[in-house]
Structures are given as C-alpha cells and as structure tokens.
Amino acid sequence: MGATTSKSLVLEEKNLRNFSGLVKNYRSTSIRAAVFTSLYYQSVAIVAALGIALMCYYGGYEAYIGGIETGLLFMFISYTTMFFEPVLSIARISNQMKQAQVAAERVFNLLNVETEIPDTLEVIEKYGDYDNPKKENWEELNGDVEFKDVSFAYSGTNKTVLKNFNLRVKKGMTVALVGETGAGKSTIVNLLCRFYEPTSGTINIDGRCYKERSVGWLHANLGYVMQTPHLFSGTIKENIRYGNLEASDEEIIAAAKAANAHDFISKLDKGYDTEVGEGGSRLSQGQKQLVSFARAIVADPRILVLDEATSSIDTETEMVIQKAIGNILKGSTSFVIAHRLSTITNADLILVIKDGMLTEKGTHQELLALKGYYYKLYTNQFVEDKMKEMKIVS
Ligand SMILES: Nc1ncnc2c1ncn2[C@@H]1O[C@H](COP(=O)(O)OP(=O)(O)OP(=O)(O)O)[C@@H](O)[C@H]1O
Ligand SMILES: [Mg+2]
C-alpha cells in the first residue's frame, strides 16, 4: 500500500537494506534447520546401512562356514530393513511435525486473543454474542445520547485526551463537532461507537449505560462513514450491499441516488457491476466516499457518524448529500465532524472542542454572537471562500 510513497521518495535502496537485514536472520536460521534435518535423517540412514553391512559381513561368513542357514540370514536382513523403515520415516516427518507445531501455535495465539471491549456475562446471556446474537431480545434504539463526565486516555498512554466531557443529545438531532487537528473530535465519536470505552464516566444511550447492552446491538444500529473509507474488492453493488445484506437492487440504487453516487456509477462501463479493485483503488477518493455514504444509507442506522466523510467531495455535491441524508435519516441522531464549516451551519448543535474539552456550544447563530473561536474560524473560512469565488468569476 505504501509502494507509491516509497517510490516517490526514492527509498527503494534503504528499504532493500532494511529488508535484507530482516531476511538475513531468516536465511541463516533456515539453513541451520535444513542442515540439522538432513544430518538427523542421514545419520539414521547411515546407522541402518552400517548395521546391514555388518550383518552381511558377519552373517555371510557364518553362512559360508555353515554356522547358520542362508535362509535365516536372509530373513534376518529383511527384518532389520523392515525395522529401520519406520525409524527413517519418523526422521523424515519430524521436521514437518515441528513446522506444523509452530503453525498451530500461531493459529491458536490468534484464536486466543481477547476481545478488547468484552461484554459482561449477564449482557451475553441476555443479548447474545457475535456468533449467536439473540436479536429477539434487542431493544429498539431510539437515539438519545448522553455523555456523563466522560474522561478518556488511550491505553498505554497517560495523556487524558478527553476531560470531563458532558453532552446531552435528543433523538433526531444533528450535532456538529469542530476544533483543531488533534483536539479529540474523532475520539468522542469513537467512544460513542464503543470502539473504545471511557476511562471514567458513562455514555448512556436511551437513558441506559451502553455497557448494559451488547456491542453488537449498538453496531447494528450505527452508521459510520470515515474520511478514508474502506471498500472491499468486488463490485460497487456488493460494496453498497455490505451495509445491509438483505437490501434489494432497487434499495441499493435508491441509496446510491440519495448519496449522489448514481450519476458517476451509471457512467462507468459496467455500472453497478464495476469492480472497484483492491481497497477501492480504481475509484477516486471522493467516489469512494460517495459509495460508503450509500452503504451507510442502505443500513438505515439510528445513529449516524460522519467523521470528515465529505472532505474529498466538492462543496456543491456535499450540500446535496447532506440535504438528502437529512431527508432519508430524519429520525436518526447524527454526529458530523467537518473542517468545512459551511456544511454544518444547519446543525442543531455545534460543539467546539479544544484540547479534549468542550469550549463552546450552541447553534450557528449563537456561536457567531459569542464572537469566540467559532466566530473567528467561520469568518476566516467565509472570507477565504468569497475570495476563491471572486477569483473564479474574474
Ligand atoms: N489510537 C490512539 N492511541 C493513542 N493516542 C491517540 C490515538 N488516536 C488519537 N490519539 C491522540 O488523541 C488526540 C486526539 O485525537 P483525535 O483523533 O480525537 O483528534 P481529532 O480532533 O479527530 O483530529 P483531526 O481533526 O486531525 O481528525 C491526539 O492528540 C492523538 O495524538
Ligand atoms: Mg479526526
């Protein structure tokens, strides 16, 4: 995946050196393993051959002078050969056995990895786990969200990324998060999606701590579109259907239309049956975002999270999509992270995050009236946009 970067920075030679260093160790170990294997096998074979030679020499003499019968000698030699055959086989397969043992250890190490966010036994009993979800017990998710004194530090670090964060969101609201790079916006939505859990404090969904319900329940009701969405190799249709495996072709096309993806898909040679390539490499970044939007829409989530999901899409298309999404997912609660403020002015609530803390909160008009960070950011971007427009016009 990093091949283009390596090549454009002319790092082939350095990478080759690194690679040679790593492979050198593997090479010498492999040679040693091969030497030991052949030594073991050959020494058993030599012992077997020597035994038979000795027997021929000594037994042959005995048979010659009449000490034993020739038949007896012949039988003895064939029995000895038969005895050594399995011993030789063991020598031959012992190397394979060792390799199989190492492979099995790796497989079991992977199987034994603990889930980072495990459900409690009571939760599993009621709501099931990933393999056997008890969907009949899953309550409907309404979409009320509450962060209560949430603090969070990523494991392995002692830097508190989020400090005493409090927020109450009613079902159906659109919440926008703005702030500088590294302020903690993605961390907030990742906590909501339960990719991580708060270090202290609780997150309530529909009035109950989300740990009281299974991770699967939350994820089944969640739509998450990222800045760099992942598409799987396969057709566009398959990728959209990934959001809801039961979706019909009509539903897929309707979702694509809502995401404004239908136009570009129809222009492709094979339309919805076009292969997107490994990781979606045959589509542009913006097209990938449109497809992942359609995928989120088809899933009909109760909570929608857009983490800079429209950053690679032109402003006009972005507006169209936002409107369409607003119509389709009317009842669902959405969290939108955007650097381009023009797209979030209609949000019900805008949060300004700074160093993991909530510094400003309100609607677009309220925040402008506050004349704080948001006001500065907005007016700066507004002036920039206007200047760009003027340049285009002139
Ligand atoms: N997986 C991680 N492990 C440790 N620290 C992390 C991890 N992810 C993010 N951080 C740290 O948490 C802080 C907040 O990161 P976050 O991704 O929430 O920022 P952000 O507001 O989304 O920024 P951006 O606008 O650039 O996306 C940063 O200082 C970052 O270094
Ligand atoms: Mg982010």
- pLDDT tens digits for range 247-296: 899 999 998 988 888 988 999 888 999 998 888 888 888 888 889 889 98
How far is it, in rounded angstroms, from Cα 95 to Cα 391?
A: 73
What is the residue with the minimal CA distance to atom 28 of ligand 1? 182
Q: Indicate the pTM of the whole model.
A: 0.80
Question: Which residues have a Cβ under 8 Å from the Cβ of 55 and sit 6 or more positions away?
Answer: 73, 76, 77, 80
Ligand 1 atom nearest to CA at 184 = 18
**186 within ligand 1 shell (Cβ under 6 A):** yes
Whose C-alpha lies nearest to ligand 1, atom 3?
154
Task: Name the CATH superfamily, with its identifier, for domain 136-221+301-393.
Answer: P-loop containing nucleotide triphosphate hydrolases (3.40.50.300)
Phi and psi, residue 107, nearest 5°: -60, -45
Confidence of residue 132 (pLDDT cuts 50, 70, 90): confident
Q: What region, left, alpha or beta, does residue 182 occupy, with left being phi > 0 and alpha being psi -120 to 50 degrees? A: left
Alpha carbon of 231 to ligand 2 centroid (Å): 19
Give residue 189's pLDDT. Answer: 94
Query: Identity (one letter) of the amino acid at 304?
Result: L
Ligand nearest to C-alpha 306: 2
Q: How far is the CA of 14 from the centre of ligand 2 (A)?
A: 32
> Which is more confident, 314 or 142?
142
CB 251 within 8 A of CB 300: no
Domain ranges within the chain, ordered by starting residue:
3-111, 136-221+301-393
* Residue 18 binned pLDDT confidence (cut-offs 50, 70, 90): very high
Q: Read off the pLDDT band of 393 (50, 70, 90).
A: low
Q: How far apart are CA 241 and CA 248, in angstroms?
A: 8
pLDDT at 150: 93
Using a pLDDT cut of 70, give the percent of the chain over it: 99
Question: What mean pLDDT comes out for the span 300-313?
Answer: 85
Structural contact between residues 205 and 213, judged by C-beta atoms closer than 8 angstroms: yes
Give the residue carrying structure tokens 């009613």.
170
pLDDT computed for residue 394 by the predictor = 59
Q: Which pLDDT belongs to residue 42?
A: 87
Widest pairwise Cα distance in the chain: 121
Q: 185: Cβ–Cβ under 8 A, 6 or more apart, which residues?
A: 177, 178, 179, 307, 337, 353
Give dist(CA 283, CA 312) in Å, integer. Answer: 12
* Nearest protein CA to atom 5 of ligand 1, as residue: 154
Q: Is the CB of 157 under 6 A from ligand 1?
A: yes
Nearest CA-CA partner of 305 in 187, 154, 140:
187
Residue 177, pLDDT score: 93
Beta carbon of 239 within 6 Å of any ligand 1 atom:
no
Q: Is the CB of 311 under 6 A from ligand 1?
A: no
State the average pLDDT over residues 115-129: 86
pLDDT at 337 over 70: yes
Return the pLDDT at 133.
87
Query: Mean pLDDT over residues 190-205, rounded?
Result: 93
Nearest CA to ligand 1 atom 12: 161
Pairing of the two strands 208-209 and 160-169: unpaired
* Residue from 116, 154, 354 to probe ligand 1 pocket by mutation (most atoms less than 8 Å from CB): 154
